[in-house]
Structure 1
Amino acid sequence: MKHPFSSYRKLFPILQRTAQLSSCSQSALSLPVRRAIDDYLEVWLQRGADWGYWMEQVALARAEFARMIHAEPGDVAVLGSVSDAASSIASALDFSAERREIVTTTLDFPSLCHVWLAQQPRGAQVRFVQAQAGGTRTSAQIAEAIGARTALVSVSQVCFYDGQIVDIAATGRAARAQGALQFVDAYQSAGAVSIDVRAQELDMLAAGAQKYLLGIPGIAFLYVRPTLAQRLRPTITGWFGRVDPFAFDPLHLDFADGAARFNTGTPPMMCACAARASMALLNEIGIPAIEAYLAELSALALEEAARLGLSVASPGACGAPVAKGANTAIHIPNAARVEAQMLQSGYVVSARNDVIRIAPHFYNQADEVVGALRELARLTR
């Protein structure tokens, strides 16, 4: 398989000695991201404090994320994590009336499920769709679970465990038909799957930077549909959620226009520097091209796993990939131990519960995916 992005591999030094295939957890460090962090440290060292530079970097990171999802920068808030983003959204919703149900799935990342469960003292009722690992009906199951009492539908576009994709446009239509809102967790999709918040008519979408966005932990981006943002008033807030944060007015609570009202405290400056650089690289290449290449690697992974007799947890195990992202999950007993053994063999992979996840990005080659699966088979014979 020809590698269409081979010229970019030199930007990822680790690939000279190790095959990093863990983008579902942490992508490889690129030289542009390292330079951005070094620049931040140098400014700190030389100037002590430079709010103008810091705010510029936050604004540039916001703009790169907005560009990636086809939104305007003013439609995006900057927070510390997707959990923070979800908590801020939840705090703005009223669960005291008849419409108080939150629909999510048993395969959503636990952190988000915990945010929704934490709303129960406020009247929320959480309904879990029993999604199946390796299944292909999750989108339909979610749509079927939405009813007249549903206030919010929480969807992971790509599942952290097995890589299955939910059709967020379809679940969004089902939510709107019942007068409900949809919150999309794009942590496992942004940077690897094409997202168009306008074309897909999304209400809210959040993603952190450390996975397929090629950044580091500590920063997340929250898109909120403009007309929706204007009518929500989060009770989880901070000084950067104000009309003018630098007014330093302790007596009045005013909410900034658009998604900025969901900002909380001081933004994560160094993380923003890294995210700006990482997303600029992704936008330079183009997400559709990355998505197409990762689909080829995904198909290759399934074919090789079947040839090796490995037990695949992801969809498409018995044929062509079906609604699956870049992550291919393999059932492995003692997955954490095997993850450590894989590192010793030169492969960075990611264990979760009883699976090892092979999650390449655009910088990976086909032989790295095949080699990792063959090493897994050798270690688990």
Structure 2
Amino acid sequence: MDIDALRAETPATADMIHFNNAGASLMPTPVYLAMSAHLALEQSVGGYEAEDTNASQLAAFYTEFAGLLNADPGEIAYVENATRAWDMAFYGLPLKEGDRILTHASEYVSNYLAFLQLKQRRGVEIDLVPSDATGQIDVEAIAGLITPRTRVIAITHVPTQGGLVNPVEEVGRVAREHGLIYVLDACQSVGQIDLDVERIGCDVLSGTGRKYLRGPRGTGFLYMRRALADRTDPPFIDLRAATWSRDDGYDWAPGARRFENWERFMAGQIGLGAAVAYARAVGLPAIEARVAEISGALRAALSDIPGVTLQDQGARKSGIVTFTKDGQSASAIYEALKAQRMNVSVALTTSARLDMVPRGLTDGLTRASVHYFNTGEEVEKFAEAVAQL
């Protein structure tokens, strides 16, 4: 992997170390140019005309994601963000009173809030799968929690806190064996891990453009297996999602298109498609290996600092590196590093109460999330700054 060439296509501030790629990754120049060209066209000829002119680029969004995920283009939807994509799928599932959802303590806050809302609205029940000794979901425990009313297992691939990578393929085998709908939040994993929905066995997978895919903010995507999509009733509907085919009825758009809106950010769709094409050109296996290498170097450097504790969990670790330092809150660390032009982020207990509170992480976690364009020199400078806090 030519890191220098990739960095050259990332016009970042030269003296800033960007370790916040899980939150808002740096956009490659080709992605920016694809978006700005479309916006310039909208300025010159108008939105509808620009859409017609760039129809092939808009269509490429679906084929690029299909190639990225090993899916059919008809199983891909463009949605405004990852949470809305997940919501459109989850709230459309035919869950009723007494049905049960399996999840894990590492589940993302917005997803768990949706579980709680459906518990209040429809009387569904939530069952928490315990963690194994490493902190990841205990695959062996899942089968013992499945009841005749269990309908869904929903987990997050790479949680926002803790750095772990949940064993999603093993979970998929259990879900298929028991006929469960398998919903996977891949917001933090898409773009840093080579994903294959057939290998994983998930029925739903959602994600964002702005993180490891290095696409524009305000963009997201949804994959839903066609067999499930064709029997799912989305919570919202418009003329993109369905056709008003008779006075008293309508016909859904086939596959995942029923989850889309007619009015959407076209430049964002083009930009996200370009980001996927960029990632595929770099190569997801190469990206995955590089992220593992540079995050491993960061963990090793931080572990040598007195008073610093790595807080990552799981048998396998992601590019999200989390740590605490004695006597320092995560917010204080964030501010101190920001003053030195080092870009990190903070995870608070409000993002993962069921995980962080039992672990005693009430002051939060510092997240130093690396991507393939980060360097060993940046790791050394960052560790030195943390040591001197």
Same fold (TM over 0.5): yes
Query: Matched residues in 2 for 1:284 and 1:198: separation?
Result: 21
1:4 and 1:225, CA in 2 relative to 1: closer, same or farther beyond 3 A? same
Match of 2:290 in 1: 293
Q: How many angstroms does 1:75 deviate by?
A: 1.0
Deviations for 1:260-315, whole angstroms, at most 9, x for unmatched residues?
12223423222212212221110101101100111111221221121113201103
Aligned-residue offset at 1:230: 1.8
Corresponding residue for 2:320?
Answer: 327
1:142: how far off? 4.8
Q: Is the 8 A contact 1:101 1:126 kept in 2?
A: yes
Structure 1 equivalent of residue 260 of structure 2: 263
Secondary structure at 2:267's aligned position in 1?
A: helix
List structure 1 runs of 4+ shifted beyond 6 angstroms. Answer: 247-250
Please list every run of 5 or more consecutive structure 1 residues that lacks an aligned counterpart in the other structure. Answer: 317-321
The aligned counterpart of 2:111 is 112
Secondary structure in structure 2 of the residue aligned to 1:308: coil
The residue type paired with residue 376 of structure 1 is V
Instruction: Give 1:40's aligned residue.
Output: 38
1:304 aligns with 2:314: no
Question: Secondary structure, in 3 states, of the residue corresponding to 2:310?
Answer: coil
CA distance in 2 between counterparts of 1:313 and 1:132 reads: 16
**Cα offset for 1:44?**
1.6
Shift of 1:184: 0.4
1:350 to 320, 345, 359: 345
What 5-or-longer segments of structure 2 have no aligned partner?
Answer: 349-363
Supply the distance in 2 between the matched residues of 1:212 and 1:269 (Cα, whole angstroms): 21
1:80-123 deviation line (CA, Å, top 9, x unaligned): 1222222222333222265x111222221101111222222123
Across the two proteins, how many residue pairs are aligned to each other? 368
Going from structure 1 to structure 2, the CA distance change for 1:145 and 1:271 (only over 3 Å counts) comes to farther
8 Å Cα contact 1:165/1:324 also seen in 2: yes
Q: Does residue 272 in structure 1 map to residue 282 in structure 2?
A: no
1:58-94 Cα offsets, whole Å, 9 max, x none, are 3222322221111121110111122222222233322
**In angstroms, what is the RMSD of aligned CA positions?**
2.3
Greater mean deviation of Cα atoms: 61-70 or 82-91: 82-91
Answer whether contact 1:184 1:205 (CA < 8 A) is retained.
Answer: yes
Match of 2:355 in 1: none
Q: How many Å apart are 1:350 and its aligned residue?
A: 1.2
Q: Determine if contact 2:157/2:188 at 8 Å carries over to the other structure.
A: yes
Distance 1:43 1:79 in 2: 22
2:347 aligned partner, one-letter code: R
Deviation, structure 1 residue 17: 2.1
Q: Is the 8 A contact 2:94 2:232 kept in 1?
A: no
1-structure distance, mates of 2:42, 2:117: 38
SS in 1 for 2:78: strand
Partner of 2:361 in structure 1? Answer: none
Query: Is the contact made by 1:104 and 1:142 (CA closer than 8 Å) also made in structure 2?
Result: no
C-alpha separation in 2, matches of 1:132 and 1:190: 24
Instruction: Tell me which residue corresponds to 1:88.
Output: 88
1:44-193 superposed matches below 5 A: 44-49=42-47, 50=49, 51-53=51-53, 55-96=55-96, 98=98, 100-120=99-119, 121-129=121-129, 131=131, 135-142=135-142, 144-193=144-193
Q: Is the 8 A contact 2:190 2:207 kept in 1?
A: yes
By how many angstroms is 1:133 displaced?
11
* 2:377 paired with 1:367: yes
> How has the CA–CA distance of structure 1 residues 142 and 193 changed in structure 2, closer, same or farther, with 3 Å as cutoff?
farther
1:104 alignment partner, SS class: strand
Q: TM-score, normalised by structure 1?
A: 0.89
1:144 Cα deviation after fit? 4.8
